[in-house]
Structure 1
Amino acid sequence: MLSFLWDAGPFTATDAMAVGYTRSTTIDLIDELIDRGLVRELPNARTAGEYRKGRPARRFQLDAGFRAVIGVDAGRAHVTATVADLVGGVLASHHATLRPADDRAESRLAAVQRAVDDVLAEAGIAMDQVVALCIGVPAPVDVDGVSPAGRDGFWARMNPGLRDAFPAVPAVEVMNDASLAAVAEGAVGAGRGHANYVALLAGERMGAGVVIDGRVLRGAHGGTGEMAGFDYVEAVGGAWGLGYRLAEHAKADVRHGKVSAQSPLSRLRTDEITGRTVLELARDGDPDASRIVERIGGMLATIAAVINSFFDPSRIIVSGAISEGAQQLIEVATRQLPERVDLPAPVIVGSSLGADVVSTGAIFQAIQAAREVVLRLPAPARGDARALRPGGDEASGR
């Protein structure tokens, strides 16, 4: 019954009978969910101005604003924490910049905890109203929320026991950030309605969230979608992202005199040359920038061909901040890809979710976790009417 009404919007007992219970059982279940603080009764059709004749039916709706979920994007250089209601309505979001050089485990753990505290304070929500929390990290994560150390311990530093850092929250999950990008794309992005796709996070470094037959793949150690294998692909040369490659190739061309004096690239300082800059100049017709875009677009075609050979997706979604200007790269890759694959070539598309894709995926993953645990939580005390709302005045209680 809860699964039905979570997605139903306003409904009547007659609507809810589609689950398969008798009317009396259906009404009993709805009343129990009301007592548990999960459903609220709405004004009937007459009060709402929709009643014409006959006895107005009782109307109900999931009480999405009584409990909360939190999604965290814990990147190497930033932490973004977002708190939302049970259907994904964002109540507050908090962003903090980190120093990449200080990636000690204790520093990251404290930064993530601080971001959660700050976003709850901004929303005016108590920790005991949080049902589920999901954290995305730039590391493989297994089903137990643990990351392998990696060659230099980097992965373990990115995930320093985060699953155990919030003991007061009933459901805490840690996932690879690219996998959460795939969750977001499937929920509200370019993967919606598709069972086989790969979300490619490709700004500074590459990572892939892989969805096959409608399921996000993890692997034994959470390493499905790790791009370290591209270290051994000569035409790609590593797991660097598209934005990084654009910038580095532009800097190298300038340094080696391959950029004309008339190109704006030749007049920029090294620290001013970014992937976005190269894309913008290419879009404006600069031939040197366009040549670099053609080169990196060819690399994207190779990357897509390798992904296609392993996972056979119907589409590859370029996700993350780079997606906002990646159409030129996608056009190049789409043109070159068919000659590099044996299987039918996947469609390459850009994401519409931008830099918030990991945070969005974390929210939807937390909602899924909330659906699985919320019936095991104690019913709220009668008269406890704390409602979640943006900018609410409920004290955080921490």
Structure 2
Amino acid sequence: MSQSLLTPMALRRASLDAVLGFAWDVEVFTASDVLDAVGLTRSTAIDVIDELVARGLLTELPNARAAGDYRKGRPARRFAFRADAGYVVGVDAGRARLTATVADLRGETRSVRHLAADASQDSPEDRRRDAVRVVDDALAAAAIARADVTALCVGVPAPVDRIGSSPPHRDGFWRRMNPSLRELFGEWAPIVRVENDASLAAVAERAVGAAVGYDDFVTLLAGERLGAGVWVDGTPLRGAHGGAAEMVAFDHVTGVEGAWGLGYRAAEVARRALAKGSLPSASALRLLDATEIDGKTVLTLAADGDPGALVVARQVGETLAVIAGVLGSLFDSRRIIVSGAVAAGAGPVIDAAADALPQELDLPAPEIVASELGADIVSVGAVRAAVEAARTGVLDLPRFVVAS
């Protein structure tokens, strides 16, 4: 739509959005910088900047003379975005572990808090209580009140549609994982998003991780269960009910037979080998009781060169190759990123998968890499999503409206 067809109010809002978006991404700037970046007239740019200062989203700094950068002529007024004008919260509401991260409007972390939860106690009431508790703990640690939160985003292990709801599931699991969390936090947070956890992991990878510069990739959360965040042509996929790339499809794929994650599979394969007595004599896994074997232990031993753990890793890697082959064939991805806590020890599994992958598809094989964002990746992505939500909606919030 041409500017000539816009109302004065719409033009004003467009100018505010443009200047605020510019300021959000730079440090100190002047009106001349805005002119170069946004293309407004000088009078409009100065007027919009002054309004954003009045709204509390920009601050005016000492001018160029006071800053020691003045040479001749009238010193330029200098401004900066107020990252502390509000705060965001990113939440990873996993089944057994919840993480809340508080950050400023640029995503700089102020506090992180974790909460262990009993996975068998996952009623809607339990989930809501734990989610509120971890958020309030993180806010308290940062000395930030609920009233100072501009946007909040929660990641859950369930499909999530465009309005933050999860569809029915045969045993009710998805709605237990997402028991109306958007409405719960919407009671006090002005902007709330609820998203699938793997989708938020993909947001984190594209912003600061292994998918920077990639438009076509899959982020695979692969600890106990598989979850995938898929980007195609620079756009995240969601689907009508939030179920794009739902991993239950692997129940029907030969060589995978289920949506179990890499950590779970490594532990199961190792336990079976221990029970059969097929582990090499030099393997430290032979010294463990079956109850002591978990995915982290197996993958750590494999990374250290343990012969039994390496056999397990190769077997799990062959399964990962099938998974990557299916995802690569469906989405023509350039990268498959193994993310989450399991990524730290996934090197031997990824190496084995890379060797097997070219046999799994006709398209060029996607590169399989390990994430470096750690176990808090979903919370990192949730913070990024909350910042983007704040950028979109902050001008409409009552606290940032100038009294007439």
Match of 1:320 among 340, 343, 347: 340
> What SS is found at the alignment partner of 1:279?
helix
In the TM superposition, 1:195-344 aligns within 5 A as 195-344=215-364
Q: Tell me, what secondary structure is at the counterpart of 1:199? A: strand
2:3 maps to none
CA distance in 1 between partners of 2:398 and 2:53 (Å): 13
Report percent identity of matched pairs.
57
The CA distance in 1 between the partners of 2:128 and 2:303, in whole Å, is 41
| Native 8 Å contact 1:36 1:378 kept in 2 | no
In structure 1, what is the Cα distance between the partners aligned to 2:139 and 2:325? Answer: 43
What TM-score, normalized to structure 2? 0.92
Following the alignment from structure 1 to structure 2, what is the Cα–Cα distance between the partners of residues 2 and 47?
A: 25
Matched, 1:34 2:41: no
Distance of 2:88 and 2:302 partners within structure 1 = 41
Task: Say how many residue pairs are matched.
Answer: 382
User: Aligned-pair distance for 1:277?
Assistant: 1.8
Matching residue within 153, 176, 180 for 2:196: 176
Partner of 2:180 in structure 1?
Answer: 161
Q: Work out the CA distance in 2 between the residues paired with 1:143 and 1:237.
A: 30
2:85 counterpart SS class: coil
TM value normalised by structure 1? 0.93
Q: How far apart are the structure 2 equivalents of 1:142 and 1:2?
A: 29
Looking at structure 2, the residues matched to 49 and 317 of structure 1 have their Cα atoms a distance apart, in angstroms, of 47
Q: Does 1:9 align with 2:27?
A: yes
Aligned-partner SS, 2:139: helix
Contact 2:205/2:211, CA 8 A, preserved across alignment: yes
Match of 1:60 among 60, 65, 79: 79
3-state secondary structure, aligned to 2:84: coil
Q: 1:290 corresponds to which letter in structure 2?
A: L
Q: Does 1:109 align with 2:128?
A: yes
Partner deviation per Cα, 1:353-384 (whole Å, 9 max, x = no partner): 011110000000001111111001124599xx
Q: Structure 2 CA distance, aligned partners of 1:27 and 1:286?
A: 66
CA contact (8 A) 1:70 1:363 kept: yes
Code of the aligned partner of 1:40 = T
Q: Output the CA distance in 1 between the equivalents of 2:213 and 2:34.
A: 25
* One-letter code aligned to 1:367: V
Q: Secondary structure at the match of 1:224?
A: coil
CA RMSD of aligned residues (A): 1.5
Q: Which residue of 2 aligns with 1:121?
A: 140
Higher mean C-alpha displacement, 145-154 vs 177-186: 145-154
SS of alignment partner, residue 151 of structure 1: coil
> What is the Cα deviation at residue 52 of structure 1?
4.2
Contact 1:35 1:379 survives alignment (8 Å): no
- In structure 2, the gaps of 5 or more residues are 1-18
**Ranges in structure 1 where 5+ consecutive residues have no aligned partner:** 383-398
The Cα shift of 1:53 comes to 4.3
Which residue number corresponds to residue 392 of structure 1? none
C-alpha offsets along residues 220-254 of structure 1, whole Å, 9 cap, x if unaligned? 11011211111111201210000111111111100
Question: Structure 2: which amino acid aligns with 1:14?
Answer: S
Structure with the larger RCO, 1 or 2 (CA within 8 Å, 6+ apart) = 1
The amino acid that maps onto 2:211 is: G
